[in-house]
Copies of this chain bind each other. A is one copy, B any other.
Amino acid sequence: MPRNGEPARRRLQQAAVELFCERGYDQTTAAEIAARAGVTERTFFRHFPDKREVLFDGQAKLRELLTDAIARTPATLKPLETLYRAFRSVEKPLEDNRPFSFPRQQVIDRSPALQERELAKVAALAEALAQALRRRGVDERLAALAARTGMETFRHAVESWLADPAGGVGAHLDRAFDELHGLAASFSTRKTRHRQ
């Protein structure tokens, strides 16, 4: 009944992050989060479908940014280059979010349950990228494979950037894509050379 100032949703997220940092995810009950936010446990589950979801909200925005970037990209680019440019285009938002992302990632890294959810979000994001590529005319199979491997490369870059922000996301992204190029260019099952 009491509808306090700050929207309950934000208060719940805030309370959840605090408690997860203090005691860890498993040692925190949904009721405790709700209590700190000044609402009922039932209200918690009205705002979030489950306890984990309270940590995964930025995902939707990131997906939108990336798929929009892909849609705006020239259709003549190779799939991986399209993805690379899309990733570069979210450099700013990522870096602005670092103060929030860093502790959040620490919490996730300490809880298998949260890691699972994160992997699910990453997979969903990759699927969205594949769809965006298809809309740019990329073949279905290629789009799926490019989106997945590109996504893993992006994760690789973001993780190393979180561990060491020097150079910004961009430097880590370039390095990761160059590593991928080095890995894949030097091996083909048939010994054919692909046109540039």
Interface residues of A (CB under 8 A from B): 78-81, 84, 112, 115-117, 119-120, 123, 141-142, 144-146, 148-149, 152-153, 155-156, 160, 173-174, 176-190, 194-196
Contact = CB atoms under 8 A, between A and B. Distances in A.
| Identical subunits present | 2
Contact of A78 (B84, B141, B177, B186): B186
B156 A152 contact: no
Q: Is the interface of A mostly helix, strand, loop or mixed?
A: helix
A119 B123 contact: yes
Which of A145, A153, A178 has the largest number of chain B CB atoms within 10 A? A145
A188 B153 CA distance: 13
B141 A148 contact: no
B190 A194 contact: no
Contacts of A180: 145, 149, 184
A89 to B, nearest CB: 14
A144 B145 CA distance: 18
B194 A145 contact: no
Contacts of A148: 152, 155-156
A84 B178 contact: no
